A and B are shown apart, each in its own frame.
Chain A
Amino acid sequence: MRRLASTLGLALALASHATAAPVAYVLDRDQSSVAFETDFGADRITGSFPIVAADLTLDFEQVGNSTVAVTLDVSGARASFPFAAQALRGPRVLDASEHPQIAFQSTKVTPEGDGARVEGKVTVRGVTRPMVMRAEIYRQKGTEAGDRSHLTVRLTGVVARSAFGATGWSDMVGDEVRLTILARIDAAP
């Protein structure tokens, strides 16, 4: 994957045939992932969530018109060792049986550096809190410069799990959870 020369902020200047309107994108679910990472003493627990749905509309001229909505499947969560996955899905952390999904919905997108700042609301365990993610957009391998039909969006952000009541094993497992969403998307036909 080569980094797309243009990012949300700079797209306009570089693209030869800039799309004039917001473009809806469809998620390539098999090629997308949501990875998380948290501390376990000096070690780290890593894992991933399947993406149930992602709704992305990107406007490369009016970045503020862009919207991002992502829904994750909690019961399909994986972790780097079996006990961690069980703990993660269990009632003391994400409580998958009561709250099978995590949802993120953007409320404000602004250009920031060579990426974008995506403010939004995330709902975990039925609790909704504000969350800020950093977005970077890349052109997928094998696509022409300026071709925005196949993109990779990388969203990174941090949440404190205690803010959502996901406090289980707080004596052993860190409060800060670092998320990296890698969404491979295709322009809707």
Chain B
Amino acid sequence: MDWRNGPDQFGAVTRFLHWTMAVLIVMQLPLGWWIARMPPALDTLWLFGLHKTLGISVLVLVLVRLFWHRLSRVPLPLGPDGPARRAARGAHLALYALLMAVPLLGWIASSATGIDSVVFGRVVLPVIAPLSEVWSDGGFLVHAWLAWGLAVLVGGHVAAALLRRDGTLSRMLRGRV
């Protein structure tokens, strides 16, 4: 198995990171939507912890992925250079930006509430924002907007992969076209 990316193929590390994050994000978006509006109850409090655990995992994985892609460059999107490729490149850049911004804003807003952010059931995240209602309310608001943006991009990303039928999907599944 090829761990590294090639000029036309995705290596195992990139594919593993891609699909792990895909699973996390597919869980995270509806989970976030739900915990923001579920009725308060003691037996569902753990869902906030789960959301934070998955979110910090996404943040760590996207940073690992960006670092890995510095070491092992990813291939360009398939197809000729043109508007479609530029759109794909733009969408990928926006996905990376949101995969950092959304968890980071959740972390900032949580920090601003003054309540510990506990992930993996025991790890207390450092506080990265002043204790302030403006920061927490504003942070959660932007967190939610950007998460909607992320959901739209993910939807477009999935639709494009399914509709292109040019080997894009199989390249991410098996490594090569």
Contact surface of A with B, Cβ cutoff 8 Å: 40-43, 81-83, 86-87, 90-92, 168, 171-173
Contacts and interface: CB of A to CB of B under 8 A. Distances in A.
> Which 5 A-B residue pairs are closest in the complex by CB-CB distance?
A41-B40, A172-B40, A90-B114, A43-B42, A41-B41
A83 to B, nearest CB: 5
Contacts of B133: 92, 168
Interface in B102-117: 113-116
B82 interface: no
Contacts of B39: 41-42
Interface of B: 39-43, 45, 113-116, 131, 133
Contacts of A87: 113-115
B42 A91 contact: no
Contacts of A42: 39, 41
A82 B41 CA distance: 15
A42 B40 CA distance: 8
A41 B44 CA distance: 11
Contacts of A41: 39-41
B48 to A, nearest CB: 8
B41 A91 contact: no
Given A90-B131, A91-B131, A92-B133, A81 B114 contact: no
A83 B115 contact: yes
Nearest to A41: B40
B114 A92 contact: yes
Contacts of A43: 40-43
Given A91-B131, A92-B133, A86 B41 contact: no
Main secondary structure of the interface of B (DSSP, over half): loop
A40 B41 contact: yes
Given A91-B131, A92-B133, A86 B42 contact: no
B40 A173 contact: yes
Given A86-B114, A91-B114, A81 B42 contact: yes
A82 B116 contact: yes
Central interface residue in A43, A81, A82, A171, by most chain B CB within 10 Å: A43
A43 B114 CA distance: 23
A87 B133 CA distance: 12
A174 B166 CA distance: 57
Contacts of A172: 40
Contacts of A91: 114, 131
In this complex, the member of B113, B115, B131, B133 whose beta carbon has the largest number of chain A beta carbons within 10 angstroms is B115
6 contacts: A40-B42, A87-B113, A87-B114, A90-B115, A91-B131, A171-B40
A86 B40 contact: no
A133 to B, nearest CB: 28
Nearest to B41: A41
Given A83-B45, A91-B131, A40 B40 contact: yes
Contacts of A173: 40
Given A86-B116, A92-B114, A81 B45 contact: yes
A83 B41 contact: no
